[in-house]
Amino acid sequence: MFKKILLAADGSEHSKRSAEHAINLAEKFNGTIEAVYVVDAKSSKEDVLHNVDKYKVKEERQQKIQPVLDLLDNSKVEYNVQMLHGEPGPAIVEYANQHDFDCVVVGSRGLNKLQTMVLGSVSHKLAKHVYCPVLIVK
């Protein structure tokens, strides 16, 4: 039933908890996980400015979601990592809807607490616009 799972990851505490739930789900249904990390315009600018080249940029981003990758590495679930560019909400919605996922797992809030209060969060956008079931982890 839940064969192909999308996990929205930003390296926050909430995304670690969502990773645990995604892993449980994948183990139960013998599914695979695709961990997705979105780079928005602001971090694009900062990362390029602070790093020597694009390999270093990639390395630093990988490091940001390392806690989530560690959890995935320690499980038996097959997974891969995808870096997307754009606004986190719409970018994940588009990716999820284009690639026929069975379930999207996302934390109730990410790194940016202020923004969740003012704008309505990524999880809210996903719940509204993704076609498949969305699991919001508290």
Can you give the binding site for other proteins, defined by CB under 8 A? 39, 41, 44-52, 54, 57, 83, 85-87, 118-119
Shortest separation between residue 88's beta carbon and other proteins, angstroms: 13
Comparing CB distances to other proteins, the nearer of 67 and 86 is 86
How many Å apart are CA 96 and CA 90, to the nearest integer?
A: 10
Taking residue 14's Cβ as centre, other Cβ atoms within 10 Å add up to 21
Which segments of the chain are extended strands (E)? 4-8, 32-39, 79-85, 103-107, 134-137
Comparing CB distances to other proteins, the nearer of 57 and 130 is 57
Contact 7, 33 (CB under 8 A): yes
Shortest separation between residue 57's beta carbon and other proteins, angstroms: 7
Gap between the terminal Cα atoms of the chain: 23
Comparing CB distances to other proteins, the nearer of 45 and 113 is 45
Shortest separation between residue 87's beta carbon and other proteins, angstroms: 8
Comparing CB distances to other proteins, the nearer of 84 and 127 is 84
